[in-house]
Structure 1
Amino acid sequence: MTTPRRSLLLAAPAAALMPAALRAQGTDPRLGERSAGRPDAPVTVIEYFSLTCSHCAAFHNGTWPEVKSKLVETGKVRMVWRDFPLDQVALAAAVVARALPAERYEGFISALFTSQDRWAFSRGADHVAEIAKVAALAGMSRAQVDAALADQTLQRGILEIRMKGQQEHNVASTPTFVFNGRPQAGAVSYERFAELAGVSGG
């Protein structure tokens, strides 16, 4: 099944119409926080990202490994990922990522960013089939992928995360990083990331 790449720019506000019970992310562990780093790290950085965003892929493939090794694993920064899908293909990928156990989340989105050209942009590609191939490496069967994609509650929850990003941090593009409450749009270098986080680059 080829997932349409229709823009979601008008879809997120509609999430405000959903019942409060569906908007309560705390009731569904799949919609819980996805993060890396110590909970008591002195600095928390939030990244709003879309899995079909080439700038997000550039950050994750080029900058994130250094951020992770020098800032996150040393206890200086905690990284929090929040979904901001830009189209239906990104939403499908985010749904599958959220359906995985939390401990497999980072590895899966990293694999998607590494292979983004193959599954997100190939003309005539079966986007779901390509996403499912990556999910299989994370231990997810095609039946589980299809079940996740059919879960409207999970889709609505992801769109709710996106809407909150727009409301709370004025997110309008990806990636957008929030450094201690201060939004910064666009991919950044490791040096700029450390500077904005206010920590020693190591």
Structure 2
Amino acid sequence: MTMLLSLLAALTLAQAGAETAPPPGQTDLVTLGEADAPVIVHAYMSPTCPHCADFYRDALPLIEKDLIEPGKMQLIIRGLPSQPVGMSVAGMMVIECAPDSRAAADRIFNQQHEWIEQAKAGDPKPFLEETAAEAGLSAEETEICMTDQALAESLYNGGGAAADAYGFTGVPSFLVNGEPVGGDKLTTIDDWRAVVEAASDE
């Protein structure tokens, strides 16, 4: 079974069991900052979401400089699939499997347009294979990762469970010290500073 057929099979199993399976735990894909920061933010994102790519490319560098590096907050990226779901989950799988998860996430989000165009041309797989290689996975390890049905199910179901639990209606969405905050409330660095300051005072 090829990489993409295996992934599609995994997602079919995940969808079939979603109503009866217990809510799965969430998978931390990338963690930035220290665990003892006063504010912990979980960012729910999809590798195929244009708004997520905008956040990652434009806002995240400012957040890192102003809030994460000074120790004011920790940011943990988790997956919440969006269309096309197969590609979205595949991107999450590469980030999760890669020894350098940050490098994988950087390439997937910062070069999302290139990946989408490649997919439109007929095959999204080469971009993911190149990403996996740059992030420390061998070709064999990449194949094992991308045909791991249990991992695909976990990431797919985990994102759905988060959306149900926190009422997320889109991505990116955030939890700030466990409280849901929609991405539309965090559009500028000033928004982030204000939210983090308020959460620090609680």
Which interval holds the TM-score relative to the shorter structure?
0.7 to 0.9
Shift of 1:12: 5.7
Percent identity over the alignment is 23
Q: Distance in 1 between matches of 2:128 and 2:29?
A: 22
Answer yes or no: is the 8 Å Cα contact 2:29–2:101 preserved in 1: no
Alignment of 1:128-143 (within 5 A): 128-143=125-140
Once structures 1 and 2 are overlaid, which stretch shifts more, 138-147 or 169-178? 138-147
Alignment of 1:1-202 (within 5 A): 14-18=17-21, 23=24, 31-32=27-28, 34-86=30-82, 87-101=85-99, 104-122=100-118, 123-180=120-177, 181-186=179-184, 188-198=187-197
Q: Distance in 2 between matches of 1:182 and 1:62?
A: 22
Give the 3 Å change call, closer, same or farther, for CA 137–55 of structure 1 in structure 2.
Answer: same
SS at match of 1:75: coil
Alignment RMSD, CA only? 2.7
Answer yes or no: is the 8 Å Cα contact 1:15–1:156 preserved in 2: no
Shift of 1:48: 0.5
Q: Which runs of 5+ in 2 are unaligned?
A: none
Q: Distance in 2 between matches of 1:110 and 1:12?
A: 29
Q: Distance in 2 between matches of 1:37 and 1:59?
A: 17
TM-score (norm 1): 0.81
TM-score (norm 2): 0.81
Instruction: Could you list the structure 1 runs, at least 4 aligned residues long, displaced by more than 6 angstroms after superposition.
Output: none
Q: Which runs of 5+ in 1 are unaligned?
A: 26-30
Shift of 1:176: 0.7
Shift of 1:71: 0.5
Size of the aligned set, in residue pairs, is 187
Relative to its length, the structure with more helix (as a share) is 2
Shift of 1:106: 2.0
